[in-house]
Structure 1
Amino acid sequence: MKETFVILARHGATEWNRISRYQGHLDAPLSEEGLEQSRALAGALAALPIKAVYTSPLSRARICAEMVAAQHGLAVTSLPGLIEICHGEWEGMLLSEVEVRYADLIRQWRTYPYTVRMPKGESLVEVEERSWAALEFMAAAHPGEISLAVTHDTPIRTILRRILNLDQAVFWQIKLDNTGINVLGCRQGRWRVIALNDTCHLGGWLKAGEQMAL
């Protein structure tokens, strides 16, 4: 049986990424840097026989996905399960503001993230369930082929955690850069991680900065 591959790429950078302002479901656009990163991602994936391109409904992912899809003559399909975590009341706030107003909760978020639900937001358990359902949908729709999804930091982290059976407390111990490439393979229902946060198209991992808000 041929292996099924799903490539998960994080969207390009936004200005809100740069200044650590929580985005969540808010539709912050790609910055010039993010557009450049997206073009580099499209070039890096141009030679692969990608059969389908999926995206989060948010424009920072969709525009990035459209750049990749154009290299393959493909349309882009939106999957709601790929959207970023809803940060609820944190959305639109700077990290520094959240640290003051929600000091106890953000400490818990950084230490035991699966135990947290932001006020009026989602939990990581909910994100993991919908993200995993999206992954399995893509795999079932393209058996033995390669599909790509442009999505966000949190959905990718939850999928990797589940495949690798990592303890929920180590959620933050994987770094995911903007347009980093993550390759997953599945054969007979068993998933494996083939590549993790490949940023060679950006000039290597030393080119990437740190981000504290998603």
Structure 2
Amino acid sequence: MAGSNSQKKCPEPTGRETVVLLVRHGATEWNRLSRYQGRLDAPLSDEGLAQFRALVAAMSSVPLAAVYTAPLARSAAGAGMLADAHGLEPLVLPGLTEICHGAWEGLLLSEVAGRYAGLLRRWRTAPYEVRMPGPGGETLAEVEERAWAALEQMAGAHPGGIILAVSHDTPIRTIIRRVLNLDQEHFWQIKLDNTGINVLGRREGRWRVIMLNGTCHLGGFLRAGEQLAL
């Protein structure tokens, strides 16, 4: 996949406002298997590494002021590749890390459906009302608050610059939902592919969405599959 797509160039965001590119981590074997990852540190698969190589090529001419990453390896590995290409050091920001799925972590979707059928149904229909079961399990409201604080921290540190942050599905969804002021039940109506690019801009304290789930570096959104363990 890295071959013919690696030279594709994505449209460059403007630097006239503070611009934050939120990128989901690359694919893992657990993504393919529909196994809940959460805070468990599943590494990138060969596919995930190829996705990041394509992203590095697509971002080669974008003048990044900084590269941030969530702490987990599936984010940090790709952020390191991007930072190296721009002569930067990746900056770790814990607020960008994935939701703690608690007792679901490490389980296949089929296992969660069998053991937590009622909770999984609520997670799919009223996600902001659910606290993940077991030790450390988070709510979406908690994830949103720490992810939003991380977004504001990055923007405040690089006013007028272009910042790239590699994060995870849940934190990025909560940020986009908040920027667009969507009702909480619409959380699942945002699709984020592995290494999909989401571009936000801030001017005079007000955020806007510039691009959602850009995957031109992968050959377009129709190349992406559906992931269920989210």
Is 1:117–2:131 an aligned residue pair?
Answer: yes
Match 1:51 to one of 54, 65, 78 = 65
Residue of structure 1 in register with 2:110 after alignment: 96
**TM-score, length-normalised on structure 1?**
0.99
Is 1:25–2:39 an aligned residue pair?
Answer: yes
Match 1:127 to one of 129, 132, 143 = 143
| Structure 2: gaps of 5 or more residues | 1-14
| Deviation readout 1:114-173 (Å, 9 max, x if unpaired) | 000111310000000000000000000000000110000000000000000000001000
Is 1:168–2:184 an aligned residue pair?
Answer: yes
Match 1:82 to one of 96, 100, 125 = 96
Residue of structure 2 in register with 1:70 after alignment: 84
How far apart are 1:77 and its partner, in Å? 0.5
- Letter of the structure 1 residue corresponding to residue 149 of structure 2: A
Distance in 2, matches of 1:29 and 1:102, equals 26
Number of aligned residue pairs: give it: 214
| Deviation readout 1:165-194 (Å, 9 max, x if unpaired) | 000001000110000000000001100000
Identity of aligned residues (%): 71
**TM-score, length-normalised on structure 2?**
0.92
Residue of structure 1 in register with 2:50 after alignment: 36
Residue of structure 2 in register with 1:193 after alignment: 209
Structure 1 runs of 4+ aligned residues shifted over 3 Å read: none
Distance in 2, matches of 1:26 and 1:16, equals 10
Residue of structure 1 in register with 2:9 after alignment: none
How far apart are 1:46 and its partner, in Å? 1.1
| Deviation readout 1:69-117 (Å, 9 max, x if unpaired) | 1110000010000000000000000000000100000000000000001
Report the secondary structure of 1:29's partner residue.
coil
